[in-house]
């Protein structure tokens, strides 16, 4: 196994989720020292408890990492906080809910990046991967939800689209400091026993590879973008979607 991130200090938010768990495994296999954080405690999997929707908690996370390791080489913004009414149809979304989701997701990415990038600027090195989505790039295909009366949250497309272009902004702003900032946009990922069979079938038919992705198929491209193997890649949005956005 290539140790492409040997001894690199990487902060990973949203580490307890399906993608987060797999990303932590891949980062560690690559030799990284992972500061894995989530709002939910999980000592068994070495996940620290920090609420990255709160400014003071983010400050504590940065301070902890610097006190523990003295540097930050990478950041993966994978956390996916959301309100309980996240799945409401567009016409029923409350403005207060819209604002809260924008604040928890998009504004959180801004603040974490701001704090980490000032450290990377001093180091004159670093790499950030922000997680976007196919629906931050193209419009939604609502036909894949029709059989079970499902939908895709409106705020999701706004947040992910914002994150992708914010990534380009950061890449432009910090490139002169030898810092790379990229985004990675997953397509549909298979969650065992969590998705309606109709969704899986319809999504798979539209995918050029005829299936949904696996968590590790997001984790390893994330490792690549953090590594020196991607040393001339910045401001890029890597589509990892089985060809969903190709046609």
Asked if residue 72 lies in contact with residue 66, where contact means CB atoms within 8 angstroms, the answer is yes
Give the pair of three-digit tokens for residue 18. Answer: 């399906």
Task: Note the Cα 17 to chain centre separation in Å.
Answer: 11
* Main-chain dihedrals φ then ψ at residue 4, nearest 5 degrees: -70, -15
Give the Cα separation of 134 and 99 in Å (integer): 22
Residue 187 CB neighbours (<10 A)? 22
The predicted structure's pLDDT at residue 42: 79
* Main-chain dihedrals φ then ψ at residue 74, nearest 5 degrees: -155, 160
Kindly name the residue from 111, 135, 148, 156 that is annotated as catalytic: 156
Asked if residue 75 lies in contact with residue 119, where contact means CB atoms within 8 angstroms, the answer is no
Q: Set out the domains of the chain in order of their start, with CATH numbers.
A: 9-139+152-191+215-246 (3.40.50.720)
- Written as tens digits, the pLDDT of the chain (247 aa) is 568 999 999 999 999 999 999 999 999 999 999 999 999 877 777 899 999 999 999 999 999 999 999 999 999 999 999 999 999 999 999 999 999 999 999 999 999 999 999 999 999 999 999 999 999 999 999 999 999 988 999 999 999 999 999 999 999 999 999 999 999 999 999 998 889 999 999 999 999 999 999 999 999 999 999 999 999 999 999 999 999 999 8
What DSSP string describes 121-145? Answer: HHHT-EEEEEE--GGGTS---GGGG
Residue 220 CB neighbours (<10 A)? 15
For the chain, give me the number of helices (H) and strands (E)?
Answer: 7, 7
What DSSP string describes 189-236? Answer: B--TTTS-HHHHHHHHHHSTTSS-B-THHHHHHHHHHHSGGGTT--S-
* Main-chain dihedrals φ then ψ at residue 23, nearest 5 degrees: -65, -40
The predicted structure's pLDDT at residue 1: 52
Give the pair of three-digit tokens for residue 62. Answer: 């940065």
Give the pair of three-digit tokens for residue 20. Answer: 């987060």
**Catalytic: 156?**
yes
Closest CA to 133 of 184, 208, 174: 184
């Amino acid at each position: 196994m290539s140790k492409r991130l040997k001894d690199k200090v990487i902060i990973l938010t949203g580490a307890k989720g399906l993608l987060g768990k797999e990303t932590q495994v891949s980062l560690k296999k690559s030799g990284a020292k992972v500061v894995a954080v989530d709002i939910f405690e999980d000592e068994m999997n070495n996940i620290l408890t920090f609420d990255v929707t709160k400014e003071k908690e983010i400050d504590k996370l940065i301070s902890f990492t610097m006190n523990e390791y003295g540097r930050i080489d990478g950041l993966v913004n994978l956390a996916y906080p959301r309100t309980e009414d996240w799945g409401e149809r567009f016409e029923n979304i409350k403005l207060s809910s819209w604002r809260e989701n924008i604040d928890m997701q998009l504004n959180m990415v801004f603040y974490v990046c701001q704090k980490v990038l000032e450290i990377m600027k001093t180091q004159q090195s670093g790499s950030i991967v922000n997680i976007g989505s196919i629906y931050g790039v193209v419009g939604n295909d609502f036909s894949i939800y029709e059989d079970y009366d499902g939908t895709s949250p409106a705020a999701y497309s706004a947040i992910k689209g914002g994150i992708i272009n914010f990534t380009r902004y950061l890449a432009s702003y910090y490139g002169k400091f030898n810092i790379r900032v990229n985004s990675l946009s997953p397509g549909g990922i298979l969650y065992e026993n969590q998705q309606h069979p109709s969704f899986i079938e319809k999504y798979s038919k539209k995918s050029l590879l005829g299936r949904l992705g696996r968590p590790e198929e997001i984790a390893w491209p994330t490792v690549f973008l953090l590594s020196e193997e991607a040393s001339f890649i910045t401001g890029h949005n890597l589509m990892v979607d089985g060809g969903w956005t190709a046609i």
